Amino acid sequence: MAQFICAIDQGTTGTTVIIVDEELKVRARVTEEFEQIFPKPSWVEHNPDGIWASTTSTIARAQKEAGIAPEDIKAVGITNQRETTVVWDRETSRPIHNAIVWQDRRTRGRIQQISDDGHEAMVMERTGLILDPYFSGTKIEWILDHVGGARKRAMAGELAFGTIDSYLVWKLTGGDVHVTDVSNASRTLLMDLHKGEWDTELLQLFNVPRPLLPKIVGNSEVYGEVRGVEGLADGTPICGMAGDQQAALFGQVCFLPGEAKCTYGTGAFLLMNTGSKPVMSQHRLLSTAAWQIDGEMTYALEGSAFIAGAMVQWLRDGLGVISEASEIEEIARSVKSSDGVVAVPSLSGLGAPHWNPGARGVLWGLTRGTTRAHIARAALEGIALQNVDILRAMERDSRKELKVLRVDGGASANDLLMQMQADFLNRKIVRPEMTETTALGSALMAGLAVGIFKNLDQIRETWREDKRFDPNMSEQDRAAHLSLWQQGISRV
């Protein structure tokens, strides 16, 4: 009898649920977008109730689309937008404030204060992270300081904090379980990366009361059982969980040190497996927990570009350059080059390895002859070029030269963008048959926990390649593009 896994991929702009069988064939896929809230410039929020509504709706619709009974689903996996922060009332399960999204920059001044006070080196050594508003620590502090009575209630144990994984487990179990997995915990600025535990000194630095925090758990184990969710039978184990980028690394079967992937979603996220010991970056990358399975920790180096697919959305919604995101490849192909136009997609600041939270986007090199096709092509080039800076820093830190970069996420379906990436990186790019490897990773972790999959070797055998992109650009042309890119970066 077939066994099915429900994988919940709770992302920045929407929630996707896929149902796969034990052969990893997708039986159903349902996506539902939810509202993006922008209270002020550089502030980004989500309504947690809206996230939960999109989750329950997509689960129910996917179960029906798959044509199976709720009882046929044997495991639930979760993957999520990571640093996004929710604080809720333990008794009512009601959020006390909108979720503050990972893209949000409101705590930039507080981050600068902590840096000015001389804490940056300690924070990076302890957590593997750069001091930046991107992470959860200052978001929690902001909520507690701006919602009346919240700090007192947090200290009394009346409130709970979680990244979205934690919030979903709480809701799926009817408020019975308050946990977060080690990959998400490692993105809060509050976890000792070397010990996998909440750190007292960091909690004091960011003014976060310990009673607010969830228990840190591994990535492939039973956390709790589903209660009262349409499309899932009560008692179904929730047993796989990881932040979206770590889940994608797992879904791309990058199980060995030196194997790497890049996910093209709202942002672009390049992760490299570094094995059983964290590599502390000398080039302003992040060291992060990849996963913990059977008590054994695997680490990764990460470089994040905050804007990738969101750049295409901005061209559609902000400038009206395109009417549908899918048009951009055809329009960009209609010209042979961007004709000197450079687009730096720093619409939410610059991430690794620059870490400039105040950076603004740049569209540079315009002339009277510039057309929307040149802008479209420059936007795709900018998405690819920002990853060159990340990969070069990653290779220096890891002392490994990457041979192949595995790619996934929605924008990886754009063949022109993938060829640009191969050309600018001068590395082979490999795209798998299943590009939704974020959801796949959480499904694999859940299946591993309940014995649907025996081990990592069996999982590796399931991975299948779709298309390969080989570099096809002269060194002279590559150098010219990189030179223009650096000039664009200097203008942010």
pLDDT tens across the length of the chain (492 residues): 689 999 999 998 899 999 999 888 899 999 999 999 999 988 999 999 999 999 999 999 999 999 999 999 999 999 999 999 999 999 999 999 999 999 899 999 999 999 999 999 999 999 999 898 989 999 999 999 999 999 999 999 999 999 999 999 999 999 999 999 999 999 999 999 999 999 999 999 999 999 999 999 999 999 999 999 999 999 999 999 999 999 999 999 999 998 999 999 888 999 999 999 999 888 889 999 999 999 999 999 999 888 888 899 899 999 998 988 889 999 999 999 999 999 999 888 887 788 787 888 889 999 999 999 999 999 999 999 999 999 998 988 888 888 899 999 888 999 999 999 999 999 999 999 888 899 999 999 999 999 999 999 999 888 888 999 999 999 999 999 999 999 989 888
Calculate the dihedral angle through the C-alpha atoms of 416, 421, 427, 433, rounding to the nearest 10 degrees.
-60
Whether residue 483 is contained in a domain is answered as no
Whether residue 364 is contained in a domain is answered as no
Q: What is the CATH number of the domain that holds 226?
A: 3.30.420.40
Whether residue 298 is contained in a domain is answered as no
Whether residue 202 is contained in a domain is answered as yes
How many angstroms separate the Cα of 3 from the Cα of each of 19, 383, 428, 462? 10, 39, 36, 16
In this prediction the pTM is 0.89
Whether residue 167 is contained in a domain is answered as yes
Whether residue 373 is contained in a domain is answered as no
d(CA 237, CA 348): 37
Whether residue 334 is contained in a domain is answered as no
Segment (H or E) for 478: helix 475-489
Residue 24 neighbours by CB distance under 10 Å: 19
Determine the structural domain holding residue 176 and report its residue range.
4-244
Total domains in the fold of the chain: 1
d(CA 447, CA 273): 21
User: What is the token pair recorded at 6?
Assistant: 């429900």
**Cβ atoms 57, 45 nearer than 8 A:** no
Whether residue 250 is contained in a domain is answered as no
